[in-house]
Chains A and B, each alone.
Chain A
């Protein structure tokens, strides 16, 4: 009886091993065919409700009491779409940020949302070219299938980094994309053009700047936040790059004079003012 059980157990274990092995092989095969390696560029931005002011003779943004967030386009669209594609096809999502240690909290937020790992290029960001070149230098020999950025940052509104990375890596670039689907090695996208949208198709690898419509915001849950603490945040030193432009100073828009109130029953007066005073109609 004992011997019988033993033999059966051995058989059973061998069978489990075989099944496991098949699983592993299948998984490896699947990963070989479909796995996507995605890099998402993450930058730091002041919260959208921030009242903007400047210091040091209007040469520096006043960070006092400012709450920093992940740039919304990077987070809501680029990162979340990257995660969705990875969940569908298998693979990894890595974030990359150019900045000092003060960027770590927003990088942890991206990890909490679900990125597998993060890289920070330890440098005070210069201009968009400086940032793009750092990212391109990191990415050039890593074989990423997709590099995703937000369509712009809400602080500099440059809309430059994605296109520059694409050029530096010799890859195609699809800007202001509101849809991104990947099938094998082909991506199909929708992007904004003047007066409409365009459906485009191209082979991976490519660089995409992501806009509204691509994904829905994800709120990190407690498990994600706990897991983010132990995920790897690799800090690397910057390549030597010179910025091509430099911000000299900032100004605030001129204060509006007080509003002129018009009687809601007298719209003729409003039209008259828009014509003769404001001269806009």
Chain B
């Protein structure tokens, strides 16, 4: 028996969430005396694949013939890998690829799926339960998977991998899998220097309190000093001050970084839903009554236009000395 981890490697680079999924799989393997096999595709270097061993993979199956994320073809490849490895637990990341493939594979194999898992499963005899985020971050639910094969899709930033020393054995894996009907015409990647928001450990976010898109320089300066991603509240995205993919909250994306700094965001319940699983929250607001302070670990009652540049300077000073 093995644990099969489906790793995404967009443009040949293994995603951070994929390392987390491999490490998560390894924790399950250790508890169930099994090993981790990683499945991936595309132009990934063999050395990068072998290095997945540092996160707990014993074996890596790679299909370099498939270049595009085609849902039908990759599902067929996934099913073939499950059969070859006799996998009983399959791990995806709860990211775009995982959201596309995990449900298909679940229906194909009649294997129960829990998406957005935030913790390791509890395994006790025949009981296998997985905790996931529900109500858009306002609660968690515990779900039993009742089928022999189990599929989990892991919420990014839910586990911190610790690197070990081994390398994994890399094998080419090219099962018969008919090309699917969806063709990729073009990929538009976000500008290179930015950190993808769902994966970011540190996030600097701002809202209407910034008064206009022309004032985002002070937000970006702080993000750059910290090495953080930028995010925004819904009104800001709706007014097109910032791109929609930066919108966090109930109808945007839910994130759980180590640090979330919010400037000029009052903290409506819909916004909190997307961020209240962050490890540490810093709120900067002129209004001491802003509801966001109730959800914050650290609060600064002050004008973002003054506080943000000061904080940026303090971060730079700290980085220079450490």
Contacts and interface: CB of A to CB of B under 8 A. Distances in A.
A268 B312 CA distance: 10
B180 A172 contact: yes
B244 A213 contact: yes
Q: Interface size class for chain A?
A: 35 or more
B294 interface: yes
A262 B298 contact: yes
B135 A163 contact: no
B60 to A, nearest CB: 19
Given A167-B103, A198-B186, A246 B300 contact: no
Given A176-B99, A248-B129, A281 B314 contact: no
Contacts of A194: 8, 10, 15, 17, 95-97, 196
B307 interface: yes
Given A164-B107, A200-B183, A271-B314, A260 B251 contact: no
A264 B301 contact: yes
B145 interface: yes
Nearest to B138: A52
B231 interface: no
Given A48-B250, A166-B71, A175-B96, A157 B314 contact: no
A172 B71 contact: yes
B300 A250 contact: no
B135 A155 contact: yes
A163 B143 contact: no
B302 A264 contact: yes
Interface in B264-303: 269-270, 273, 276-277, 279-283, 293-303
Q: Interface size class for chain B?
A: 35 or more
B134 A157 contact: yes
A261 interface: yes
Interface in B57-82: 69, 71-72, 75
B169 interface: no
Interface stretch (B35-43, B187-195, B205-213): B187-195
B107 A48 contact: no
B310 interface: yes
Interface string A187-207: 010011111111111110010
A157 B96 contact: no
B251 A244 contact: no
Contacts of A248: 129, 141-144
Interface string A241-256: 0011111111111001
A70 interface: no
A157 B133 contact: yes
A129 B106 contact: yes
Contact of B146 (A46, A175, A203, A245): A245
A253 B139 contact: yes
Contact of A48 (B71, B97, B269): B269
A275 interface: yes
B254 interface: yes
Interface string B97-108: 101111111111
A261 B302 CA distance: 11
Nearest to B302: A264
B2 to A, nearest CB: 21
Contacts of A196: 10, 187-190
A233 to B, nearest CB: 27
A159 B103 contact: yes
A3 interface: no
A110 B147 CA distance: 35
B50 interface: no
A132 B107 contact: yes
Contacts of A192: 96, 245
B295 A246 contact: no
B111, B139, B259, B303: most-surrounded residue (chain A CB, <10 A): B139
Contacts of B279: 278, 280
Given A176-B99, A248-B143, A278 B280 contact: yes
A160 interface: yes
Given A172-B182, A260-B299, A250 B306 contact: no
A274 B226 CA distance: 12
A259 B295 CA distance: 8
B294 A198 contact: no
Contact of B181 (A199, A202, A247, A273): A202
A212 interface: yes
Nearest to A169: B107
A259 B283 CA distance: 9
B216 to A, nearest CB: 19
Interface of A: 46, 48-49, 51-52, 54, 72-73, 127-129, 132, 151, 154-164, 166-168, 172-176, 178, 188, 191-203, 206, 209, 212-213, 243-253, 256-257, 259-262, 264-265, 267-268, 270-275, 278, 280-281
11 contacts: A128-B103, A173-B72, A196-B189, A198-B186, A206-B181, A244-B113, A250-B134, A257-B297, A259-B298, A270-B282, A270-B314
- 6 shortest interchain CB distances as A-B pairs: A163-B103, A264-B302, A244-B112, A196-B189, A167-B107, A267-B314
Given A48-B269, A195-B196, A270-B282, 9 more contacts: A127-B112, A129-B112, A154-B135, A158-B116, A163-B104, A164-B107, A175-B99, A259-B299, A280-B279
